[in-house]
Amino acid sequence: MRFYDIALFKPVEVAVILRMAKQEKIILETVSTSKKVAFLKDPRNYPEDASSVSVIETHMSLLFLTPNRVYKLKKPVKFSSIDFSTPQARHLNCLEELRLNKELAESVYLEVLPLNLDPSGKLNFGGKGKPVDWLVKMKRLDEKDLLNHALLEKKVDKERLRSVAKLLANFYRTREPVNFQPEDFLLRLENKMKVNLKELQDPQYGLSTDLLHRIFDQQIDFLRKHGNLFSKRVRAGRIVEAHGDLKPEHICLSEEPVIIDRLEFDRDLRIQDVAEELSFLATECELLGSPETGEVFLETYEKITGDRIPLQLKNFYKSKQAFLRAKFAIWHLREARYLEEKKWRARTDRCLTLSKKYADLLS
């Protein structure tokens, strides 16, 4: 079964699709994204009392925020590792997001809702008609409880921080190891590092080639000289299907701690050494001015699991992850709407400075 959004095609292409539909019984997505957005922006259309609706746009989704709920609509996009171009694909992705996030945030992820089109051509939430799309319905969290906000305001509740660190450590403790041959894991790391370097060297960004190579060379030299450290991690079962996007803005210091936005669209990105994912969080906290917060998560994990992570390994992963964050930051300059925003260049520079700091400790 195939789906097409007619609004995305030229008239000639639409005619071809319509002819194909008669022959192959293709289900056509006749409701444009703009019509869905208009419907979802209207507070009167929600199943609960919604006095207002605000919208947040990401690369892959549109989030519609009512006072108590969040409704996430996937965009009909297609990238190298992501294909949301059909309603069927978006539906499966919504279900996967719900499944994966129940473990760390069961009270937040509520259900997957169909967006239906009734016979008169009107949209509704799960009522009459046939589904034209799906949304993930979530409880809305208080932004003041998110770790990034608390760090910026310098108002981190230490007791709640320890509670959420315990939640995360116990999550890792129950993960099944992902099977790797040590040499395959090393090659995987090296290949990912080479991709990061290649992206950052793109001439359109104007970054210092000397700086990039200095950082990369220190990282790759450490990886090749200390392969035994990584082999031990593999043999100890520390490579797991983790969170995949563990940022401070995804950690909620509420009375009932939760961790949201576990990455759902690519399992390969969730597969990491626990030490790397925690080092990623540590670098994000350091970029927000609080390196000690990242250490709380690392120390809590080590205490609960007994997994003592060598300092050199932490430094390597912090350098690698800061390098990766630099890539993600500079990528914003690919889009016209971000070209005039100086913060992305500044963030890239901060990430590279942090990456170099930890790379220098590897020598």
- Domain at 147-360, CATH homologous superfamily: Aminoglycoside phosphotransferase (APH), C-terminal lobe (3.90.1200.10)
Summarize the confidence of residues 14-30 as an average pLDDT: 46
Query: Which strands sit side by side in the sheet containing 54-57, from one edge to the other?
Result: 54-57, 61-65, 69-74, 130-139, 109-117, 123-125
Which is nearest to 48 in space by CA: 135, 125, 162? 125
Residues of the chain with CATH 3.90.1200.10: 147-360
Q: What is the pLDDT of residue 339?
A: 63
pLDDT at 14 exceeding the cut of 50:
no
Question: pLDDT averaged over the chain?
Answer: 91
pTM equals 0.88
Q: What is the pLDDT of residue 336?
A: 63
CATH classification of 31-139 is 3.30.200, yes or no? yes
Model pLDDT for residues 46-96, shown as the tens digit of each residue: 988 889 999 999 889 999 999 999 999 999 998 877 899 999 999 999 999
Model pLDDT for residues 204-257, shown as the tens digit of each residue: 999 999 999 999 999 999 999 999 999 999 999 999 999 999 999 999 999 999
DSSP 12-35: HHHHHHHHHHHHH-PEEE-S-HHH
pLDDT at 112 exceeding the cut of 60:
yes
Residues of the chain with CATH 3.30.200: 31-139
Which is nearest to 149 in space by CA: 157, 140, 139? 157
Place of tokens 């990034």: 148
